[in-house]
Structure 1
Amino acid sequence: MMILTDKKPRVNVEAILTTQEIHDIEHQIAHYPDPRAACLDALKIVQKRNGWVDDAQVAAIGQMLGISAADVEGVATFYNRIYRRPVGRNVILLCDSIACFLMGAETLAEAFQKHLGIQYGQTTADGRFTLLPICCLGNCDKGPTLMINEDTHGLVGVNDIAALLEQYV
């Protein structure tokens, strides 16, 4: 017979996260009256190393913050810039809001997919680019807009794609 308890499974945080990640997360925790408030910061810290956050890292973050892995997962999946699976070295976020759609975002998306040889949610074979839609980049007056890593590019046309991508190794 299995006995159910309310104890959370323990993970070896030191075996999952780097010493620097642990230090940086602890530093963020110190800024909040409740450690749980550092969840998004912790996810960003961990994602910085590999570009995404795996299940073991989610569990380790939860343990450090005193919350369940499911709660950390809820935060991770709410924010569209926290990646739960591997992505390319450069992540292209194409805005698909109504403003960008009206300015040709659909045509731009098709051109990116053709140029890169991938569909939304996929990564190029060389691991250089991942292509994702995003609901709004807040750059509506310069649509269609996209973001590559942390760089926002507005008024992007189909003929701009090759030169734009050459800026990202």
Structure 2
Amino acid sequence: MGKGKGELKMLFAVKLNDNETDSLVGKILEHYKSYSPPQSAVIPVLQEIQGKLGYIPRRAFEKVSTVLKVPSSHLYGVATFYHQFRLKLLGKHIITICAGTACHIGGTNTIRNVLVRYLKLKPMEDTTDDGLFTVQIVRCIGCCSLAPIIKVDEDVYGKVEPSQIMKILAKYRRAT
């Protein structure tokens, strides 16, 4: 899925209620009803839902399952197999942790652990309960001479020490 400017606006949309979700998913499914076999539409449908909402809500699985006649367990399996799909809305601010070799040696794991504790992230979760931050790990940001690196949105922070995390994130909490 690309990252066009129009798409980014959708990533921060508010969650829809059940009726709004059903309506949006129904409109998307209209374009895919004629796919044969119906399973061939699963990935494009999930991509389009996520493109509109920024994630795939649980409610969407029920509607897609009914229309495409594909078990919801299969849909969930596809959505959890492919890294591109999200089952939870992204936070307002995206924290990207570099896990490249230089950053790893420089202490990325410690920084990640501090972020998880400070943000009170639950196991297997990457977005805070208040929806303010999402933490993502990438292979390389491309600023190896500044290792270890984190990015918050488009702001790059180099030579990050664990003791700096609270101060860095305070800037984004105030801006909200």
TM-score (norm 2): 0.55
**Matched residue SS, 1:44:** helix
Contact residue 17 and residue 60 of structure 1 kept, 8 A = no
The structural deviation recorded for 1:61 is: 1.6
Q: Closer, same or farther in 2 for the Cα pair 1:158/1:138, shift >3 Å?
A: closer
TM-score, length basis structure 1: 0.56
Question: Which residue, 86, 103, 107 being the options, matches 1:104?
Answer: 107
RMSD, matched Cα:
4.3
Match of 1:7 in 2: none
Using a 3 Å threshold, how does the CA distance of structure 1 residues 98 and 65 change in structure 2: closer, same or farther?
farther
SS of the aligned residue for 1:53 comes to coil
CA contact (8 A) 1:54 1:85 kept: yes
Bigger RCO (CA 8 Å, 6+ sep): 2
Which residue does 1:5 correspond to in 2? none
Distance change in 2, residues 1:115/1:40 (3 Å): same
SS at match of 1:130: strand
Give runs of aligned pairs for residues 61-100 of structure 1, distance below 5 A: 61-85=64-88, 88-96=91-99, 100=103
Partner AA of 1:166 in structure 2: Y
Distance 1:59 1:145 in 2: 41
- Conserved? CA contact 1:145–1:156, under 8 Å: yes
The alpha carbon displacement at 1:105 in A equals 1.7
| Aligned-partner Cα distance in 2 for 1:107–1:101 | 9
How many residue pairs get aligned? The number is 150
AA partner of residue 37 (structure 1) = S
Q: Structure 1: state its 5+ residue gaps.
A: 1-13
